[in-house]
Chains A and B, each alone.
Chain A
Amino acid sequence: MFRKRKCIGVGKQMETSTGKAQNTSITLEVLRERVDNMEDAEVIEYQTQNNKIFVLIFIGTLIDKARLNEAVIEPLRLCNYENIAACISVSKITNISTLEEAEKKLMLGAILLFDTIENQWCSVDLKDPTGRGIETSETETILYGAKDSFSENLEQNISLIRRRLPLTALKSEKFTVGSLTKTKIVLMYIEGLTNPDFISIAREKIKSVDFDQILDSSQLAAFMEDHNHSVFPQFQHTDRPDVCAYALGVGKPTILVDNTPFALNAPINFFHLFQSPEDYINRWIVASFLRIRRYVSFMLSLLMIPLYVALTTHHYQMIPLQILFVLVETRSQLPLTPFWESLIMLVTLEVIKEASLRMPTKSGQTLGVIGGIVVGQAAVEAGFASQVLIVLVGISAIASFLVPNYLMTKATTLIQFVLLILASFLGVMGIFMGIILLFAHLNALTSLKQPYFTPISPFYGKDWLDLFIRGPLQWMKARPEALHPLQKWRYSRRR
Chain B
Amino acid sequence: MSGHGKYEGTKNLGTESGLNLKAIAGKPMTLAQVREELKGVQGKRLWRSIDELANTPEFQAAVEREFPSVAQEWVDPVSRRGFLKLMGASMALAGLAGCTKQPDEPIYPYIKAPEDLILGKPNYFATAHPFVTGAVPLLMKSDAYRPIKADGNPEHAYVKGGSDPFSQASVLDLYDPDRSQHVMFRGENREWAEFAEAFRDTVAGTGDGTGICFLSATITSPTLARQWKEVQAAYPKATLVQYDPAMAGTPYSRASNIQYALAGADVILSLDAEFISSATFPGFHKLVRDYADRRKDPNHLNRLYAVESTPTTTGMKAEHRLMLRASEIPAFAAELAKEIGVSGVDAPACAWTDEQKKYLAALVKDLKAHAGRCAVIPGEQQDPSLAALALAINSALGNIGKTVLPGGETVHPIPSDQIAGIKSLVDDLNLGKVNWLIILNANPVYTAPVDLGFPDAIDKARVIVHLGSHVDETGQIAHWHIPAAHFLESWSDARAYDGTVSIVQPLIDPLYGGKSAHNVFQVLLNEPELGAYEAVRATWRPVIKGDFEEGWRKVLHDGWLAGSAFATANAAPRAEIPKIPVPSSHDALEIVFRPDPNIYDGRWSNVGWLQELPKPVTNLSWDNAALMSGATLVKLGLEEDDIVELGANGGVVKAPVLVAPGHPDNSVTVYLGYGRQFAGRVGSGQGFNAYLIRSSASPFYTTGSIRKVDGKWGIAVTKSHYQDHRASPFTTEANKNESLEAVEALGARGIIRKATVRQFQANPNFANEGETHEQTHMGTSIFPNWSYNEANAWGMAIDMNSCTGCNACIVSCYAENNIPVVGKQQVRIGRDMQWLRIDSYFEGDLAAPRAFYQPMMCQQCENAPCEQVCPVGATVHTPEGLNMMVYNRCVGTRYCSNNCPYKVRRFNFLLFSDYETESLKLMRNPDVTVRSRGVMEKCNYCVQRIQEAKINADKENRGIRDGEIITACQQACPAKAIVFGNINDPNSRVVKLRDNQLSYQLMADLNTRPRTKYTAIVMNPNEDLEEMPVEHAPANG
A, B from the same assembly: no
Please give the residue numbers on chain A whose beta carbons come within 8 Å of chain B beta carbons, in ascending order. Answer: none
Please give the residue numbers on chain B whose beta carbons come within 8 Å of chain A beta carbons, in ascending order. Answer: none
